[in-house]
A and B are shown apart, each in its own frame.
Chain A
Amino acid sequence: MSREPILKAEHMSKTFGGIIALNRVSFAVEKGEILGIIGPNGSGKTTIVNCLTGFVKKSSGRVFFSGRDISNLPPHKIADMGLTRTFQVMRPYYSLPAYKNLVIPLFSPRARRTGGWRGGGRLGDRNTVGIDILEEIGFERDSYVPYKKAATLPTGYLKRLELARCLALKPEMIICDEIFSGLSMSEIASMVPLIERLQMEGITLIMIEHRLRELFRVANRVMVVNFGEKLIEGSPTVVMADERVKEAYFGSQNVQEVMTHA
């Protein structure tokens, strides 16, 4: 563990009025790993994402990405550096076809800078590149799906579209906010290899999840958050064995039982 972390949060706090949403949360993510963040509803998981990516201004604390202080940067600058995120509530451009949804991120300064999708050179026709990315992410190329309006796509495809929007930027890191939630078991089953492949390609991931069984299959480390505070951090087995986690997260229930039902 001698490597420099790609993302480091130091004593990050956020208050909304009198409510403490985050209380001095510190953690680090190493390059190439998958960090899972779990916690009960309202424990501050999405607030962590919003604070990291600049969508919400932190009350205090600092965030470093690739060794640079990004605490006070606006969200578009942070995304431009390669730290991208998906939204828990999907935010596609509903009136546009799926592949046109990707033309927009491909127009961004970062996508222009990083050049062609997979393998240098100038960015070609953005429509073609968009369809290529969609195929990689699981849209059937020869079907009508990539050409359908985003408003008519089912949740599974919209979640993939969120991921595709991040991939269009050739990110160094993606923060997935509940990418599995709302999906059927078979949709999740097809999504897991995708996540694994992104890791193989060297993309660092933070995954916020409620679907623990699937998360534990891919995550290298897990961090548990409760009432805006970090409870514990470690490998999935260590975290699940911890009594405080069982108390806070699962109530008095048996963890194994919850996981089989999840």
Chain B
Amino acid sequence: MTEQAAQRRKERIDRGIKVRTDGLYALMSLRELAYLALPRVLLIGGLVVLPLLVPDLYWRRVITITCIYGLLALSFDFLAHYVGLVSLGGAFFVGTGGYLAAIANTSLGLSAWITVPAAALVGGGICTLLLLPCLPLRGVYFAIISLMYPLFAARVIEALDIFGGTDGIMGIDGFPNRFLEQFTPILLLLIVLFGLRRLVNTDLGLVLRGVKDNDQAIRASGMNVTFFKSVAVFIAASMGCLSGACLVHIYMWSGISLFALDFSILPIAATVIGGSGTLAGPVLGCLILVPISEMLRDFGTLRIVFYALILVAFIVFKSEGLMAWGQRKYQQFERWAQI
């Protein structure tokens, strides 16, 4: 057996079409263009068509929630793998955005079209300001501190009985109709996904990646590391607040469960499954994890066990993540080579 293994090894080679579509040459033929477009069309088309294929109202709602989590997972992946800030504060972003939208809607009477973008911008600013003192921290230290924020916010609301206390804020307007409610989160998710993919390859994105790679060199280049970290946190927090504001208008209710740690933890699990640092991967992970978590609801408390098993299986057998695996299969072929 060892003799056989010693004489052969698997080698991976880029597909011809992958090489041909690397540069401008992709424009030469429809086949090359189709090769490039296929994964994107699959994702966009899939997300748009899915709600039309699902007749059940309940499962349509699950698709919406999936998109909400997708936004959060994108926010986590962006911060963790492009800026080096592992943030467990997803729930804090959701809660801040959610409460802002709820207050703007019930107190000021603004419609969802104004509250959602406003909550994203204002909420992003508030979250950035509150996280500013923690920005010099890195890695696990930042993770722990950012985990404290949602817990803190929930307790403050509960103890001071502000914003409706434990009852939450009720009577929030929904989206004008069911169609918009369904497709707004999907559209937002797609815009944010492709926007982020562009951002990380711009010059600003390179600087952010530089902050992750080595912040001393950024300092030596005359740039303020904390400033760029806060820019990144603002972007990520805005995305989180955006999802929170959508959620509030979908549920027509806002309460301290918006600060539930699910919003911090599930995006991380989705990132692990989908492939960290790929941006599209975490969205893929949400598309798998959220429906599974809904299906497992029948099992009651056993749900967590199944959930954990799936996670462990992915970490052990496919630690690179689905996206990285799929990308490899799409771009390369494997063959046995004699040594």
Contact = CB atoms under 8 A, between A and B. Distances in A.
A55 B221 contact: no
Interface in A95-114: 95-96, 100, 103-111
A107 B217 contact: no
Interface string A110-137: 1100000000000000100000000000
B249 to A, nearest CB: 38
Given A96-B206, A104-B207, A126-B203, A87 B221 contact: no
A85 B220 CA distance: 7
A55 B217 CA distance: 11
A96 B209 contact: yes
B203 A107 contact: yes
B219 interface: yes
Task: Kindly name the residue among B207, B209, B221, B225 whose own CB sees the greatest number of chain A CB atoms within 10 A.
Answer: B221
Residues of B in contact with A, size category: 10 to 19
B214 A91 contact: yes
A252 to B, nearest CB: 39
B220 A93 contact: no
Contact of A107 (B213, B219, B220, B223): B223
Interface in B129-144: none
Contacts of A75: 219-220
Contacts of B210: 93, 96, 104
Contacts of A179: none
A169 B209 contact: no
**Is chain B's binding surface mostly helix, strand, loop or mixed?**
helix
Contact of B223 (A94, A95, A109): A109
Contacts of B209: 93, 95-96
Interface in A79-99: 79-80, 84-85, 87, 91-96
Contacts of B221: 76, 79, 84, 104-105, 108, 165, 168-169
B213 to A, nearest CB: 4
B222 A104 contact: no
A91 B216 CA distance: 8
Contacts of B106: none
B222 A108 contact: yes
A92 B217 contact: yes
A79 B219 contact: yes
B206 A87 contact: no
Interface in B160-202: none
Nearest to A83: B222
A76 B224 contact: yes
Interface of A: 53, 55, 74-77, 79-80, 84-85, 87, 91-96, 100, 103-111, 126, 165-166, 168-169
5 contacts: A76-B224, A105-B222, A109-B222, A165-B221, A169-B221
Given A55-B219, A76-B222, 5 more contacts: A79-B220, A104-B206, A104-B207, A104-B210, A108-B223
